[in-house]
Chain A
Amino acid sequence: MDQSGRAVVVEDLRKNYGSKAAVDGLRFSVARGRFFGFLGPNGAGKSTTIRMLTGLLRPTSGDAVIEGVRLSADPLGVKRIIGVLPEELPLYERLTGEEYLLFAGRMHGLSRAETEKRAAELLQFLSLAEDAPRLTLEYSQGMKKKLALAAALIHNPRVLFLDEPLNGIDPVSARVVTDLLQRLTRNGVTLFFTSHVLDVVERLCDEVAIIDRGRIVAQGSLAQIRAQRTGAQDASLEDVFLKLVDADVTRRDLSWIA
């Protein structure tokens, strides 16, 4: 695969748990500076894929290249250029929000002065400045999410992996975050984004891939996928998604509800 202009290249990536394939030979690539939506139902393999691409889970087979750095050959090199917002938020509960950002910046090799400057800006930007001196165990889920996002951004990564970044965030902050993410893509940062909120995906993403039972079932721009799968350009992403993952949404009424 020609890798020029590609921020993420996934090569036959596979993860088995016993005889079950959680991710079953994924092959796809993401162009640099794209807002890439990675969609799928629960248990489809999204988080497993992200954990493999970020070097936190060893693939059973296959490999990936992130911004020209081969993951299997130089996992630390990949970690230098990516930022990760995992679905679970393993924050250190007994550090304050500000300390957490200072810790993250320093661990990414930033100087103390630069880390402090960026941490202050991020806390202000994400409306966390008031709660910055409090322990993160006292944060709400949305605050934790914003803090983890700030930590993922502090070293100015070239590729950002975001697993459900808007879950639990209030509408005002969600707007601030989505504006920021769009600005990042305009500056050449590639966003690898998962969400169950298809309206948000439809609004933000240039390109999506849909994964179901560990396999990619569709990839391309939204217009391409709509045209290929429904034959109608005005079909909603939700309709396309449900069709692609073969979802059965018809249900009999509950017997005790009239």
Chain B
Amino acid sequence: MDRLIALVGLRLKLEIRSFIGRRERVASLALLLPGLLLGTVLMSGLAWLGVTALARTEPGLVLPALSAVTTAVGVLWALSPLLAGMALTETHDLTRLLVFPVPFRTLLASSLVANLLEPAALAKLPVVVVACAALGGSLASRPLVLLSGLLAFVLMLATAQTVGLVLHALSRNRRLHDLMLFVGIGLGFVVSLFPLLLLSGGGRTAGVAVRAVLVGDVFAFSPWAWGVRGAIHASRGETIAAVSLALATFLALLSVVAANAVVARRLYEGALELGPPRGEAVSGRRFRLPGAVGVLLEKDLWLYWRDPRLKAMLLTSVLSPVVLLLLWRGASGRPSPFFLVFLAAFSGLGALGGNAFAIERRGLALLFSFPVDRFAVLLGKNLAAMTLRLPSLVALASVAALLAPGRLLLPVLATAIIAMLMGAATDNFLSILYPTPVPDPGRNPYAPVSGSRGLTAVFVTGLLMMAALTLASPFVFLTFLPLLLGMRGLLLFSIPLALAGAAGAYLLLVGGAVLLLERREPELLARVLAEE
């Protein structure tokens, strides 16, 4: 029992530490607890209002609607380790405990109990209780309603834990780890598109689809829905159906726990070894581009392409403006010229905040150890960032060419390039003044580090964004001047002139950033390596 308590305590401590940074512990706690409470109150309120309103207006939809909601939550929770990269964190890592002489049952029990006691899980418990209360029913049926609801909740937690454990086991193989990371970020991107879809007029189509799903009650066979369906039947006094569904949920829970035990047992016995993390040889020699700028550019491009996290971010950055453009069109027909210019500037300015040195992480010490002129370093980093944004601009231009008047295509593209140049140039200042600290060696290189950029950096980012827009505006104006004057032929002169002017301004800004970098290089390094 002592070992069980110690293990559960360890898990809880790790969970809390993943929320709370070292330096801002008190401040984080002050934000975390009210945040959790507020979220619980809001969700409980929503659950109460949703269930009672549905029962009053569409009583026939209560069963299918709540089945759909619990299934959606269950699936999202099951995928949450993937979506949040949780499969790769230490909380699911039983292997760290294998060196201790802990009996398997204790290890398994600690894992399950700690999962139930997670602050984030406990915060959702009142929501379940309130939803069950909202179902109503006689006083005698209430215990069965609550029991069924709680069984559904525990089943969701257990499934998420089992999936997390499986993903963690698989992630010990680098190829699978990379694949899961890539898929997880892609899924996260797709999920994040739903609100946009609803806001942009796609809601009507989605509404029809949802109604069809509800009328067909397609989630009746989802194990996550059985508990809730049991609760609804119990509230209606249909005891036999309620007890049957509660039993089915319990059996599903036992199966999931058994699956969890099997995976954990194989880990415990060292049988779940997917082989050493050796990938295939990477063929071909690199670094064909000339000079230090070319070498840096090529290096960054390869690092982006080979890192699943960076690659997924790159692909989502390509898709984001296109999706935005298509959704906007869905809402209001043809995009206006103003919207296109705004979208081009927004896409280009994405270079600001990209953090020129972020990809280096601890390698920044290595980069600064080379005797390379700092102008070349910044130019190489900016060129890489801009090259990586080019596919996004090409995609945007292609869609704009299909949707917008042809005369706007070149000026819009030029606007995006000008904004990108100014964004990259100003980002250098941000990267030098407010670098992002990286985790200690041996830790997840992508984990957040306390004491990172801070609120001042947010304020300065805003200022720099304004500065970048201000700097870009005369060149953008020059680009559009022929259209404003109704002399389209002049675009052939105005666009190259505007681009050349923007390039000149960019080089001047990089020169200024180099002076700053030369003064602050060791401090920058100390801050990135969190040694200050």
Does any Cβ of A come within 8 Å of B174's Cβ? yes
Partner of B368, one of A56, A94, A103, A106: A56
Does any Cβ of B come within 8 Å of A31's Cβ? no
Looking across the interface, which residue of chain A has its beta carbon closest to that of B296? A107
Contact B371 A86 (CB under 8 A): no
Contact B303 A92 (CB under 8 A): yes
Q: How far is the CB of B284 from chain A (nearest CB, A)?
A: 9
Does any Cβ of A come within 8 Å of B116's Cβ? no
Contact B281 A108 (CB under 8 A): no
Contact A134 B371 (CB under 8 A): no
How far does the alpha carbon of A104 sit from the alpha carbon of B286 in the complex, in Å? 12
**Range of interface residues on chain B?**
35 or more
Within 8 A of B (CB), among A50-88: 54-58, 75-77, 79-80, 84, 86, 88
Query: What residues on B are CB-neighbors of A55 within 8 Å?
Result: 368-369, 522
Q: How far is the CB of A203 from chain B (nearest CB, A)?
A: 28
Chain B 360-387 interface mask (CB, 8 Å, partner A; 1/0): 0111111011111100000000000000
How far does the alpha carbon of A103 sit from the alpha carbon of B292 in the complex, in Å? 9
Does any Cβ of A come within 8 Å of B295's Cβ? yes
Contact A79 B526 (CB under 8 A): no
Chain B residues touching A, majority SS = helix
Contact B369 A57 (CB under 8 A): no
Contact B282 A138 (CB under 8 A): no
Q: How far is the CB of A23 from chain B (nearest CB, A)?
A: 14
How far does the alpha carbon of A94 sit from the alpha carbon of B174 in the complex, in Å? 12
Query: What residues on B are CB-neighbors of A88 within 8 Å?
Result: 362, 365, 441
Query: What residues on B are CB-neighbors of A79 within 8 Å?
Result: 369-371
Q: How far is the CB of B23 from chain A (nearest CB, A)?
A: 15
Does any Cβ of A come within 8 Å of B277's Cβ? yes
Query: What residues on A are CB-neighbors of B522 within 8 Å?
Result: 55-58
Within 8 A of A (CB), among B501-525: 521-523, 525
Query: What residues on B are CB-neighbors of A77 within 8 Å?
Result: 371
**Range of interface residues on chain A?**
35 or more
Contact A57 B526 (CB under 8 A): yes
Within 8 A of B (CB), among A114-145: 115-116, 133-135, 137-138
Does any Cβ of B come within 8 Å of A171's Cβ? no
Query: What residues on A are CB-neighbors of B371 within 8 Å?
Result: 76-77, 79-80, 108-109
Does any Cβ of A come within 8 Å of B334's Cβ? no
Does any Cβ of A come within 8 Å of B342's Cβ? no
Query: What residues on B are CB-neighbors of A56 within 8 Å?
Result: 365, 368-369, 522, 525
Q: How far is the CB of B59 from chain A (nearest CB, A)?
A: 57
Looking across the interface, which residue of chain A has its beta carbon closest to that of B278? A138
Does any Cβ of A come within 8 Å of B307's Cβ? yes
Query: What residues on B are CB-neighbors of A115 within 8 Å?
Result: 287
Contact A107 B372 (CB under 8 A): yes
Does any Cβ of B come within 8 Å of A96's Cβ? yes
Q: How far is the CB of A125 from chain B (nearest CB, A)?
A: 19
How far does the alpha carbon of A46 sit from the alpha carbon of B279 in the complex, in Å? 37
Does any Cβ of A come within 8 Å of B283's Cβ? yes
Once A79-B370, A102-B285, A138-B279 are accepted as A-B contacts, the answer to whether A94 and B363 lie under 8 Å apart by CB is no
Contact B279 A135 (CB under 8 A): yes
Contact B281 A95 (CB under 8 A): no
Query: What residues on A are CB-neighbors of B302 within 8 Å?
Result: 94-95, 99
Partner of A138, one of B277, B295, B362, B373: B277
Looking across the interface, which residue of chain B has its beta carbon closest to that of A151? B366
Chain B 479-494 interface mask (CB, 8 Å, partner A; 1/0): 0000000000000000
Looking across the interface, which residue of chain A has its beta carbon closest to that of B288? A112
Does any Cβ of A come within 8 Å of B236's Cβ? no
Looking across the interface, which residue of chain B has its beta carbon closest to that of A88? B441
How far does the alpha carbon of A95 sit from the alpha carbon of B522 in the complex, in Å? 25
Contact A107 B278 (CB under 8 A): no
Once A76-B371, A80-B371 are accepted as A-B contacts, the answer to whether A134 and B295 lie under 8 Å apart by CB is no
Contact A108 B370 (CB under 8 A): yes
Does any Cβ of B come within 8 Å of A91's Cβ? yes
Contact B370 A94 (CB under 8 A): no
Within 8 A of B (CB), among A145-168: none
Looking across the interface, which residue of chain A has its beta carbon closest to that of B440? A88
Partner of B281, one of A90, A92, A133: A133
Looking across the interface, which residue of chain A has its beta carbon closest to that of B380? A107
Once A56-B525, A94-B307, A95-B303 are accepted as A-B contacts, the answer to whether A103 and B282 lie under 8 Å apart by CB is no
Once A88-B441, A90-B363 are accepted as A-B contacts, the answer to whether A106 and B287 lie under 8 Å apart by CB is yes
How far does the alpha carbon of A102 sit from the alpha carbon of B295 in the complex, in Å? 9
Contact B282 A135 (CB under 8 A): yes
Does any Cβ of A come within 8 Å of B306's Cβ? yes
Once A102-B285, A102-B287, A137-B174 are accepted as A-B contacts, the answer to whether A92 and B299 lie under 8 Å apart by CB is yes
Query: What residues on A are CB-neighbors of B372 within 8 Å?
Result: 76, 107
Query: What residues on A are CB-neighbors of B368 within 8 Å?
Result: 55-56
How far does the alpha carbon of A157 sit from the alpha carbon of B287 in the complex, in Å? 22
Query: What residues on B are CB-neighbors of A207 within 8 Å?
Result: none
How far does the alpha carbon of A217 sit from the alpha carbon of B148 in the complex, in Å? 73
Does any Cβ of B come within 8 Å of A212's Cβ? no
Contact B292 A90 (CB under 8 A): no
Contact A103 B295 (CB under 8 A): yes
Once A56-B525, A108-B371 are accepted as A-B contacts, the answer to whether A134 and B281 lie under 8 Å apart by CB is yes
Contact A107 B295 (CB under 8 A): yes
Query: What residues on A are CB-neighbors of B299 within 8 Å?
Result: 92, 95, 103
How far does the alpha carbon of A104 sit from the alpha carbon of B372 in the complex, in Å? 11
Query: What residues on A are CB-neighbors of B296 within 8 Å?
Result: 107
How far does the alpha carbon of A95 sit from the alpha carbon of B283 in the complex, in Å? 11
Within 8 A of A (CB), among B273-327: 277-279, 281-283, 285-288, 292, 295-296, 299, 302-303, 306-307
**Can you spell out 28 A-B residue pairs with CB atoms less than 8 angstroms apart?**
A55-B368, A55-B522, A56-B365, A77-B371, A79-B371, A80-B371, A84-B369, A86-B365, A88-B365, A90-B362, A90-B365, A90-B366, A92-B299, A92-B366, A95-B286, A99-B286, A99-B302, A102-B287, A104-B370, A107-B296, A107-B370, A115-B287, A116-B285, A134-B278, A134-B279, A135-B282, A135-B306, A138-B174
Given contacts A88-B365, A90-B363, A102-B285, 10 further A-B contacts (CB under 8 A): A56-B368, A58-B521, A76-B371, A88-B362, A95-B303, A99-B302, A104-B370, A108-B371, A109-B292, A134-B278
- The residues of B with any CB-CB pair to A shorter than 8 Å are 174, 277-279, 281-283, 285-288, 292, 295-296, 299, 302-303, 306-307, 361-366, 368-373, 441, 521-523, 525-526
List the 4 closest pairs (A to B, CB-CB), nearest first: A58-B522, A133-B281, A79-B371, A94-B306
